[in-house]
Amino acid sequence: MLDRAQLKHLHFLGIAGTGMGTVAAMFREIGLQVTGSDQAVYPPMSDFLRERGIVFHEGYAEKNLTPKPDLAIVGNALSRGNPELEAVLTHRIPFVSLPELLRGWFLYKTRNLVVSGTHGKTTTSTMLAFLLEKAGLHPSWFIGGVPLDLPAGCHHGTGPFWVLEGDEYDTSFADKRSKFLQYLPELVILNNVEFDHADIYADLAAIQKSFRQLLQQVPQNGLALINADDPNALAVAKDAPCEILEVGSGPQAAARYKVLKEDASGSVLSLHGREFHLKVPGRHNVHNASMAICAAHTLGVSLETIASILPEFRGVRRRLEVRAEAKGITLVDDFGHHPSALRESIAALRAKYPGRRLWALFEPRSNTTRRGIFQNELAQSLSAADGVYIAEIARKDQLDPQMRLDPKKIADDIRKAGRESFYLPGPEEILKDLLPRLKTGDVVAVFTNGSFGGLVEKLSVALAK
């Protein structure tokens, strides 16, 4: 545990990241001096930090460590050679990763609920925190996104529960284990397991090993909620030392849900003999909701209370988020980049906007989708849209040619499947080509785990003219 009495000044290296920034703000709110630095700090994070009185520096430098902080928190994007990190090490300033900070400051004394899986972590953890908060349990939470229904992505509540989005990505430059291994779980949700993060995992077996390590930390009197419809997740949970509750839509699930209705207004599902109404679209969100319902009910929230709260849930920014509606055209922003996530998001948009022409604009930016691993799967997922634009891969020169995704081939394959499909270098070219093609009734979905060169904002401006 950290000696909290001796820690008055925290300095965050990488403060502009969503997780780092929201945690920094939480510590400022509980009365600590908080400073930080990042390579560049843009709105909305720059405004978010300034509004909370947090002093931050743009660019990494040794001088940012004056006055000397009591503890440095090092973001996982930093690596050796960073001048500020090198100064932390040279001057023996105590440092931890962000997960280590949460563990050492809070998690030894709380009941920790870790939401994990390749997909759905952010939405499911937000939904669980929302249910517990609205039910009056006053939870704390740490979510790697921007909730639409909670005051911030990180919050220190007065109740016993911490809801944590459990990221399988590595912890820091000094600790290459998954972040979620720091979180001391009493309850784990395992949504699904697929291959991802090709920069740090060699194969699916390596990812399964990491999730298996997470479940090995759950005490015997703890609980793991496992996706009964996912063979990879079931394989991970096979030797878990705790109670298992399998949640899914198939007959093997102990907690079996059924979709009763799915239309433009959302979904209705049945679970535990009750109906639940869900505003956020998509079958994948029905699964996310079922996990959150089961977890909240296990923790003492009645099904009646959950059923009354759930229809209020609006979701998370950049998860099928409607960003603009103009001239009869709807613009949607989505974080999806893995083939499975793209497939589910496009299916959700089809259900929400039946009969409307759907354009999918995709930026291959993640460390997995820049590689050729999912060459065929990406083409299959994107071809469910009526028209597709795919940009050049991000940071192309950092990959050997034989390792790279071939976006032109994806566009060609989609065209062969009978869909309109275009490969263009970047957002400016896509914008110029797309705008004349748009018609009243079209839905335009932008898929990226980055900014795509501000394409969503540029489209919003263009549609408003």
Strand order in the sheet with 255-256: 154-155, 140-142, 161-165, 111-116, 185-190, 223-227, 243-248, 255-256
pLDDT in tens, 326-385: 999 999 999 988 899 999 999 999 999 999 999 999 999 988 888 988 899 999 999 999
Compute the distance between CA of residue 147 and CA of residue 423 in angstroms, rounded to an integer: 33
Determine the pLDDT at residue 109.
95
Strands 170-172 and 154-155: unpaired
Residues 257 and 358 in one domain: no
Do 36 and 74 form a contact (C-beta atoms < 8 A)? no
Q: Domains in the chain: how many in total?
A: 3
Burial group, residue 202, by CB count within 10 angstroms (0-12, 13-18, 19+): exposed
Residues 151 and 223 in one domain: yes
Residues 236 and 344 in one domain: no
Residues 302 and 221 in one domain: yes
Compute the distance between CA of residue 70 and CA of residue 101 in angstroms, rounded to an integer: 13
Residue 11 is which amino acid? H
Q: Residue 113 belongs to what domain range? A: 106-312
* pLDDT, averaged in runs of 10, over the chain (465 residues): 90 94 95 95 85 94 97 95 98 97 97 96 97 98 93 96 94 92 98 86 92 98 98 96 97 96 93 96 95 98 98 94 95 92 94 95 90 91 96 84 90 94 95 96 95 92 92
Residues 125 and 222 in one domain: yes
Residues 90 and 177 in one domain: no
Structure tokens at 117: 């899986």
Residues 131 and 249 in one domain: yes
Which one, of 282, 370, 290, lies nearest residue 334 by Cα?
A: 282
| Residue 120: partners with Cβ closer than 8 Å, 6 or more residues away | 191, 192, 284, 287, 288, 291
Determine the pLDDT at residue 86.
98
pLDDT in tens, 354-371: 999 999 999 999 888 889
Residues 274 and 327 in one domain: no
Residues 140 and 166 in one domain: yes
| Residue 266: partners with Cβ closer than 8 Å, 6 or more residues away | 277, 278, 279, 280, 281
Do 411 and 421 form a contact (C-beta atoms < 8 A)? yes
Residues 281 and 343 in one domain: no
Q: Tell me, what CATH number does 375's domain have? A: 3.90.190.20
Q: Tell me, what CATH number does 244's domain have? A: 3.40.1190.10
Strands 55-58 and 33-38: parallel
SS (H, E, C) the chain: CCCHHHCCEEEEECCCCHHHHHHHHHHHHCCCEEEEEECCCCCCHHHHHHHCCCEEEECCCHHHHCCCCCEEEECCCCCCCCHHHHHHHHCCCCEEEHHHHHHHHCHHHCEEEEEECCCCHHHHHHHHHHHHHHCCCCCEEECCCCECCCCCCEECCCCCEEEEECCCCEEECCEEEEHHHHCCEEEEEECCCCCCCCCCCCCHHHHHHHHHHHHHCCCCCCEEEEECCCHHHHHHHCCCCCEEEEEECCCCCCEECEEEEEECCEEEEEECCEEEEECCCCHHHHHHHHHHHHHHHHCCCCHHHHHHHHHHCCCECCCCEEEEEECCEEEEEECCCCHHHHHHHHHHHHHHCCCCCEEEEECCCCCCCCEHHHHHHHHHHHCCCCEEEECCCCCHHHCCHHHECCHHHHHHHHHHCCCEEEECCCHHHHHHHHHHHCCCCCEEEEECCCCHHHHHHHHHHHHHC
Residues 91 and 197 in one domain: no
Q: Which residue is it, tokens 């994070």?
A: 45
Which one, of 379, 366, 369, lies nearest residue 421 by Cα?
A: 379
Residues 136 and 267 in one domain: yes
> End of a domain among 97, 122, 139?
97
Q: What is the mean pLDDT of the chain?
A: 94
> End of a domain among 97, 120, 151?
97
Q: Tell me, what CATH number does 83's domain have? A: 3.40.50.720
> End of a domain among 97, 117, 137?
97
